Amino acid sequence: MAKKITEPTRMAKERAFLVGVDIYNQQNWLTLEDSLEELSLLAETAGLKVVGEATQSLSHPNPDTFIGSGKLEEITALVTETQSDVVVFDEELSPRHQRELEKKFGDRVRVIDRTALILDIFAQHADTREGILQVELAQYEYRLPRLTRAWTHLARQAGGGGGRTGSVGGVGLRGPGETQLEVDRREIRRKISNLKKELEKVRSHRSRYRLQRKRSQIPTVALVGYTNAGKSTLLNYLSNSEVYVADQLFATLDPTTRRVKLSEKNYCLITDTVGFIQKLPTQLIAAFRATLEEINEADLLLHVVDITHPNAQSHWQSVQETLTLLKANEIPTITVLNKIDKLPEPEKATEMTRDYQDAVAISARTGVGVNELLNMVENILYFKMVPLQVKMPYQQGRLISLFHEQGIITQTVHQKGGVLIDGKIPSRYLSLFEPYFSKENTDSEEEL
């Protein structure tokens, strides 16, 4: 199926033609049509004007051009007719696919894939030094295997650095028999190495900051969810802050932490994290490791879902899949069904919570249902007890006292070099005792 879109535009933008492919037995949470609609939103977020689209169903990708030869001829004609500047594929293309497609479409038309498009959006939205470093690393790791003459001199690198004409990053000399392409590859590898070192410093800083938060004994909560689900709006409402909010994909990239009052005497720290999306590029997951560790270290996750979106269930499943990839799927989670104020019958929102485990329906914009959410958060963080057995060195007197004061001890055995304690502890303290687990603790949680 193919069609062209001819609506006029008032701004001179690059014209984009979208290509979606349905591959047999490939698991996607969105249908081909819905995924292509999401790709269109991504393209618009990146500053492109979508002028046409085409789809094809395949048992497996063509080894040379990804799509079939007949469909390629059809798309080539449409690209010419719509005067498209760029063709965007809704799958990650291999370097070979990208090279062959660029040959077919000609020098005037660029070929990019979903991954490159998302990376470009991240590059546009990265404001802090950490965000810029993370995006730049992801872009370089994506480009390295795809480097051709068209990519030389790093003209579009993140952060606006860019090498001088005839050089790469200011390097103008090359060894005997060494091509410009080889120089560029070596320079990119050097930049990747330096970026990883810089990000390791960021990771160490975040680790120290998280340790300080643990010592404060204030439990931590991470907001997760599909992009544009309303996480930042919820954080603003809960903390009376002004985190940047926009009705667009990936409006915020950098994590923001705020102190939130749960009741008269109990508080928590809530961190807003980067939004997820179907087919989230692996380069981004790797580059944003320091940021995503905020999720892994949290005592509780709030999985925010835009319940008004027609693909809400698919978005929820896609995020759950990503959490499993991050090994964060075992962390206690509350599903927050957001934007109920936009439903035709908001009073029926409670019925929707039955489709999810541990769910609550709210409006982060108006505050409806937020008190119930805070009660659930406080119950899990402060009143639910987790069974565990730890062997504590006698030098850890502070933690031993904490167990006696806040936990329920069923058995204490004094041994050489430490004390073996069996009992239950509020879940918010679990991470403090993790280094001293004497055996695999059960995952079950019991209500006190």
Confidence at residue 219, expressed as pLDDT on a 0 to 100 scale:
84
Minimal CA–CA distance to 378: which of 214, 210, 218?
218
Minimal CA–CA distance to 439: which of 425, 426, 422?
422
Give the contacts of 103 (CB within 8 A, at least 6 positions apart).
none
Confidence at residue 243, expressed as pLDDT on a 0 to 100 scale:
58
Confidence at residue 161, expressed as pLDDT on a 0 to 100 scale:
38
d(CA 17, CA 28): 22
Using DSSP's 3-state secondary structure scheme, residue 89 falls into strand
More confident residue, 423 or 212: 423
d(CA 245, CA 231): 9
d(CA 170, CA 160): 14
Contact between 284 and 250 (Cβ < 8 Å): no
Confidence at residue 334, expressed as pLDDT on a 0 to 100 scale:
95
Give the contacts of 372 (CB within 8 A, at least 6 positions apart).
360, 362
Q: What digits encode the pLDDT tens for the residues 272-322?
A: 887 888 887 777 777 777 667 778 888 899 999 999 999 999 999 989 988
Q: What digits encode the pLDDT tens for the residues 380-430?
A: 888 888 888 999 998 888 888 888 887 888 889 998 889 999 988 887 777
Q: At what angle do helices 32-45 and 114-125 cross, to 10 degrees?
A: 40
Number of H helices, E strands in the chain: 14, 15
Across the range 322-351, mean pLDDT stands at 88
d(CA 152, CA 148): 7
Give the contacts of 418 (CB within 8 A, at least 6 positions apart).
391, 392, 393, 394
More confident residue, 334 or 408: 334
Across the range 86-92, mean pLDDT stands at 93
Q: Dihedrals φ, ψ of 53, to 5°?
A: -155, 155
Residue 81 has pLDDT above 80, yes or no: yes
Residue that is written with structure tokens 């030389």 in the block? 152
CA dihedral 153→157→162→166, nearest 10 degrees, is 0
Q: What digits encode the pLDDT tens for the residues 229-266?
A: 999 899 999 988 765 555 556 655 567 888 899 988 88
The identity of residue 133, as a single letter, is L
Show the CA angle centred on residue 106, arms to residues 103 and 108, nearest 5°.
140
Name the token pair of 60: 């497996």
More confident residue, 120 or 174: 120
Give the contacts of 117 (CB within 8 A, at least 6 positions apart).
39, 42, 43, 46, 88
| % of the chain surpassing 90 pLDDT | 34
List of E strands, 38-128: 49-58, 86-89, 110-113
Residue 349 has pLDDT above 90, yes or no: no
Q: At what angle do helices 180-215 and 129-143 cross, to 10 degrees?
A: 140
More confident residue, 122 or 82: 82
